A and B are shown apart, each in its own frame.
Chain A
């Protein structure tokens, strides 16, 4: 019985050894990248600067005042709105889908006293809400290069007291 137990333990250890080899193979690219970054002194804040979306957010942070509220138009699943929220805090943000109807967009702008609307993907065909905003004189398109569109909005000129 003891012999059988010992063989079972040996079998597990053998499987573990194989698994260790696989684990080394799995993490090898990451380890290689670490060595490269260490050699090139490209770590910490430098890693973030390699991301164009982050650079765009930094530009937005210079434009949007810290006490302002902005509407972020994007799909939650893309994961970009959480990045925007993280880097633009303490600015308050409201997330709306790209397919948002004009009534809801205008209502959120009015109720949240939002002064900026950020559309994350400028290449995507605009939904009804964004189209209405682009046509409205209350919204002013800002010339900020980057992956998305930025609109400045005067919420006092927007009608949106009620949304059903």
Chain B
């Protein structure tokens, strides 16, 4: 009884340290007065994960072994110093920006507390199920034991980025394996069922972030909670990924953060410093999955195109400001690229080959199946399309166009990606079926933001 309790305590402390590292760093860019407490928690988890794992990569580049003191001490000290300096400098001055007051406090909090509790109960039920499902079963799914979990185990055993016994996908970015390695270091052993608690936690942070973004978009608490419940309880893909040690949930979380904050900024509803936080989330996208950099690229591209189309005052300056999230993308992409070059690891040859028109046309048929099959995402995607239609003129004369461009652009990118995949004609349908739901999962939280916009139209 004592051993499992000690394991849980060690895990809780390890997870707590991720929040602490992430809590200090955004202080200079996104001050506490600009965000709600829950929002701060949801953002700091992702930022902590990015900083800890990038620091572990830096240790690997310096040839230093992974150890808890070496990983945590510099980051926690730096985070603490930033917090102290910020508090000392900011004492007695500073006000919430007008956007904070406008978005957070304008709407009445709730329509009916009973609905709030119902949605909270539904979400709590999903999370409870996912937590038990995650920590009761050791890693078993294909990519858990073939890639992410296997790497974490090897990195923990060797205390370094040892890729010698993994002969496929060595070039995949390592945010998730390194985070698992860090948690194994906290646990003091490879415990591949307890460590999976991090994934339902990650999903919870995604839901909190989604709720807070929806609140900032102008929805009241009932509507925000309802949209989050609608997102979480639609089809099986999100619920299944809450229990798996895959990188897709992490990428969906980072994509929501980056796209959501950039969208708020386009709408002039973002708290001060949002672009800097979006930059860290773009870094997280680039560092957690091979599909991350192009996905982050589409956030920037959609934002730039929206600005050019809408021509707001100070267009040039606003376009230039997109360099902030772009720098995050580079910061998340470059260190791993340098490592790959330094160790002569070839990247991407098993994903991209030639353009195959046959595959292109076939994937045009598979995509609607993935979007509208209720088994995958329930009625989420039809609802998102309906929300798009409900927005009417706002779709092309307001920043809502950003959401439409991001979603539509990525659907096109998925089809093009399949057209480049090096698979045989016989294998292709299996390849699509094994990957399409995951690729769509990366976009679904942003589709939920779209649904939130549609809901506003009905208000």
Contacts and interface: CB of A to CB of B under 8 A. Distances in A.
B356 interface: no
A37 B136 contact: yes
Interface size class of A (residues with CB under 8 A): 20 to 34
Contacts of B150: 82, 85-86, 89
B435 to A, nearest CB: 16
Nearest to B139: A86
Consensus secondary structure, chain B interface: helix
A6 to B, nearest CB: 6
Contacts of B457: 5
Contacts of A134: none
B154 A45 contact: no
Given A23-B233, A92-B165, A5 B390 contact: yes
Given A2-B458, A5-B458, A34-B129, A86 B379 contact: no
Contact of B133 (A26, A34, A83): A34
Consensus secondary structure, chain A interface: helix
B66 interface: no
B383 interface: yes
Nearest to B129: A31
A44 interface: yes
Nearest to A88: B165
A27 B129 contact: yes
A86 B149 contact: yes
A86 B177 CA distance: 14
Contact of A47 (B129, B138, B142, B149): B138
A90 B154 contact: yes
Contact of B230 (A6, A16, A93): A16
Given A19-B234, A30-B133, A89-B153, A45 B458 contact: no
A83 B390 contact: no
B206 to A, nearest CB: 18
Interface stretch (A7-15, A100-108, A149-157): A7-15
A64 to B, nearest CB: 13
B229 to A, nearest CB: 9
A86 B150 CA distance: 6
Interface string A13-41: 00110011011001100110010011000
Given A47-B136, A92-B165, A23 B455 contact: no
B146 A43 contact: no
A79 interface: yes
A86 B378 contact: no
B29 interface: no
A82 B138 contact: no
B386 A8 contact: yes
Contacts of A83: 145
A12 B458 CA distance: 13
B236 A26 contact: yes
A30 B133 CA distance: 8
B138 A44 contact: yes
Contacts of A38: 132, 136
B374 interface: yes
Contact of B193 (A19, A20, A30, A45): A45
A122 interface: no
A15 B379 contact: yes
Nearest to A95: B167
B239 interface: yes
Nearest to A16: B379
A44 B136 contact: yes
Contacts of B458: 2, 5-6, 9
A22 B374 contact: yes
A76 B165 CA distance: 16
In this complex, the member of A5, A31, A93 whose beta carbon has the largest number of chain B beta carbons within 10 angstroms is A5
Contacts of B230: 16
B194 interface: yes
Interface string A49-91: 0000000000000000000000000000001001101100111
A48 interface: yes
Contacts of A6: 458
A8 B236 CA distance: 24
Contacts of A22: 374
Nearest to B137: A47
A134 B83 CA distance: 67
B135 interface: yes
B158 interface: yes
Contact of B233 (A15, A20, A37, A90): A20
A129 B420 CA distance: 35
Nearest to B157: A90
Contacts of B383: 12, 16
Task: For the complex of A and B, list the 9 residue pairs with the smallest distance between their C-beta atoms, beginning with the closest.
Answer: A43-B136, A82-B146, A86-B145, A19-B378, A44-B193, A15-B379, A5-B458, A34-B132, A86-B150
22 contacts: A5-B390, A8-B390, A9-B455, A16-B230, A16-B233, A16-B378, A19-B233, A23-B233, A23-B235, A23-B378, A30-B129, A34-B133, A43-B136, A44-B138, A44-B191, A47-B136, A47-B137, A47-B138, A83-B145, A89-B157, A90-B154, A91-B165
Given A5-B458, A19-B235, 13 more contacts: A8-B386, A12-B383, A16-B230, A27-B239, A34-B132, A37-B136, A44-B194, A47-B136, A47-B138, A47-B193, A79-B142, A89-B153, A92-B165
